[in-house]
Amino acid sequence: MSSPDVIVIGAGPSGISMAYTLKHKLGFDDFTIYEKLDGVGGTWRTNTYPGVGCDVPTILYSFHFNLNPDWSKELCDGPEILEYMESTVDKFDIRKHCHFEIECLGAKWDERRAMWDVRFTDTRTGEEFTRSTKVFISAVGGISYPRDVQFQGMERFQGPMFHTARWDHSYDYTGKRMAVIGNGCSAAQVVPKVVEKAAFVKQYARSPQWYHERPNRNFTALETAAFRFIPLWERWQRLKLFLDNDDLVSTYMPGPKATVKRAKVEDHARRYIFSRAPKKYHHFLIPDFPLGCKRRIFDPNYLDALNAPNLDVVPEGIQEIDETGIVSSSGVRNDFDVIILATGFQVQQFLTPMEVIGKQGKSLNQQWKEHRGAQAYMGSHVHNFPNFAILFGPNTFPAHNSALFACEVQIEYVARTLLKPLIDRQADVIEVKSTAENQWVNSIHAQLKGSVFQAGCSNWYINEFGRNAASWPGYASTYWKETCIPRFGVFRYEGGSSLWFLRTLSRWIRTTSGTTYGLGVLLVLAGLYRRNAGFRDGLRQAVKGFVTRARSIAAR
């Protein structure tokens, strides 16, 4: 098998979008996607627990190049989103580029050859192999590897114990005693479902959350018809949803105005929680940290489920797990048949568990430790790692907007700054300068100071060094604007061809759509019509002749 010019790791949403950009926007076919799972979809293939769904309106959580008029409701469930991912891959002929059940172990930059040597293992056969490539792109996403917590004695438990991202569908929990550890988004989705079948559910919810109503209705036949048949209608609805969601960020910023606005939203959330949850839980459901310090939860009927007689929630952690049950922090012991770990993901551990070695033999993990956490210029480019890009990388996570939007913005930026220059041979090696990277990252952390993201609560934004390497500090629209601003002297170029502009011209001709050419012709004709009297007279005569001829034919 010949080595591809571009290797993409991950066939989740960001990997699919990158494949579309390479194939259909850049007219570039020499790429391969390696995926450790048995199909596309990423987090939507990994997370199949009961109740899994999206907390962002699905019209907004969709690819800009493949809007779906057939969404069943405002906030769709996981299986419907996965089906959309599958259909997108087939619609745009991406599947033939994918190799499934192949896990990336790591990669090493060879300075002499200016190539990446990428190591893989076939998860079915155990065979390890290496592929070389000019460009290495990580699209593994932030919700890829579960956070494996360690509790004393957990290895002794004799019943089933599994993470929500590794849900065992062969296990029937009907009539069983179940423990759910955690109370983030996945726990809030799981609990309302499992209480319907389990004999008893006890949730260990050590930290409170801010809950908000989550209106979620089915689309009517009329709305679906409008999405399908009225030009640009769904795009207009998508834009409005984007702007509404982006406006939520104004409550998270430092300053008196944001504080006043945040207080109003907190009061609304407080009243909503009190109106839904049993009074016995009111004393620990309301957080003592500001709104946004943890990701807000738009309630998937979780608060209503707290009224179920077979559910008990305790605001405690775990002291110990033994052969048959759990001892809570306060020493209370309960027996369980099954334990569910709703403990989230290793969001801060970008590229886990790959080991990526850059220039001079330095690993990416070591370089990031020296900087007290993951960092990358525009969340994408890392110095000492040429021809390499990260999608959904450090400090690109939008507060409460579509993660898919952030990924697509990043992909457009990577295409413009890395892929196009390499494809056109403007350079053979491209690397961001360390000074540019550090200055950009410092500016991001300066903006994060005083925001609710660093208000002292325990959240997945803050890493082991106390540094927020996940959050984008402002509006999602601001990130888009940042990537659109031309900046010179940021990258170091090596090699390339003096005739690169001819390759650029060729690519433009190949990838420009017929619609664009048609609009260009219309603009030229309009300009001639406005400025050239002879052209106007000639056009009038041509139209008159055409009409006369048409009437003559009709009269026969």
CATH code for the domain in which residue 195 is found: 3.50.50.60
pLDDT bucket at 536, cuts 50 / 70 / 90? confident
Note whether 97 and 201 are same-domain residues: no
Instruction: Give yes or no for residue 3 having a pLDDT over 60.
Output: no
* Residue 380: strand, helix, or coil: coil
Residue 222 falls inside a structural domain = no
- Chain-centroid distance, C-alpha 159: 34
Q: Is residue 16 part of a domain?
A: yes
Q: Quick one: pLDDT band at residue 304, thresholds 50, 70, 90?
A: very high
For the stretch 108-133, pLDDT in tens is 999 999 999 999 999 999 999 999 99
Q: Is position 235 within any domain?
A: no
Confidence tier at 550 by pLDDT (50, 70, 90): low
- Tell me, yes or no, whether 334 and 351 share the same domain: no
Is 364 part of any domain?
yes
Are 364 and 286 in a shared domain? Answer: no
Q: Minimum mean pLDDT among 80-84, 147-151, 230-234, 493-497: which range? A: 147-151
Indicate whether 391 and 490 sit together in one domain: yes
Confidence of residue 293 (pLDDT cuts 50, 70, 90): confident
DSSP annotation of 402: -
Q: Judge whether residue 42 has pLDDT over 90.
A: yes
Residue pair 309/233 in contact by the 8 Å Cβ criterion = no
pLDDT score for 119: 97
Structural domain contains residue 216: no
Q: Per-residue pLDDT averaged across 155-175, rounded?
A: 95
The last residue of one of the domains, among 341, 356, 387, is: 341
- Among candidate residues 307, 341, 375, the one where a domain is terminated: 341
Tokens 């019509």 correspond to 529
In a 3-state reduction of DSSP, which class is residue 515? Answer: helix
Rounded Cα distance between 344 and 140, Å, is 16
**Range name among 31-35, 39-43, 245-249, 456-460 with the lowest pLDDT average:** 456-460
Instruction: Answer whether the bond into residue 300 is a cis peptide, omega within 30°.
Output: no
**Are residues 523 and 494 part of one domain?**
no
φ, ψ dihedrals at 444, nearest 5°: -65, -45
pLDDT at 501: 85
Q: Which of 90-104, 195-209, 375-389, 535-549 has the lowest mean pLDDT?
A: 535-549
Average pLDDT, the chain: 90
Would residue 217 count as lying in a domain? Answer: no
Peptide bond into 353 cis (omega under 30): yes
362, 499: one domain? yes
In terms of residue numbers, what domain contains 108? 6-145+347-503
Predicted confidence band of residue 103 (pLDDT cuts 50, 70, 90): very high
Kindly report, residue by residue over 486-516, the tens digit of the pLDDT. 899 999 999 988 888 888 888 888 887 766 6
Rounded (5°) CA angle 378-383-389: 55
Asked if the model's pLDDT at residue 454 lies above 80, the reply is no
Q: Residue 111: which residues within 8 A CB-CB, separation 6 or more?
A: 359
On the question of pLDDT at 141 being above 50, the answer is yes
- pLDDT for position 112: 95
Is 247 within a domain? no
In terms of domains, do 274 and 381 share one? no
- Taking residues 439-444, report their average pLDDT: 96
Whole-model pTM?
0.90
Q: What is the pLDDT of residue 516?
A: 67
Same domain, yes or no: 186 and 327: yes
Do 376 and 444 share a structural domain? yes
At 1 the pLDDT is 37
Give residue 355's pLDDT. 94
For residue range 515-532, what is the model confidence (pLDDT) as tens digits? 666 776 677 777 776 777
324, 341, 358 - which closes a domain: 341
Q: Looking at the structure, do residues 288 and 322 belong to the same domain, yes or no?
A: yes
Residues 407 and 300 in one domain: no
Structure token digits, residue 420: 């196009």
Residue 330 has pLDDT above 70, yes or no: yes
Task: With respect to residue 526, please indicate whether it lies within any of the assigned structural domains.
Answer: yes
If you write DSSP's letter for every residue of 457-468 in order, what string do you get? ---TTB-TTS-B
Closest residue by Cα to residue 475 from 387, 399, 374: 399
**Domains held by the chain: number:** 3
How much of the chain, in percent, has pLDDT values that exceed 70?
94
Per-residue pLDDT tens over the stretch 235-272: 999 999 999 989 888 888 888 888 899 999 999 999 99
Q: Could you tell me if 298 and 418 lie in one domain?
A: no
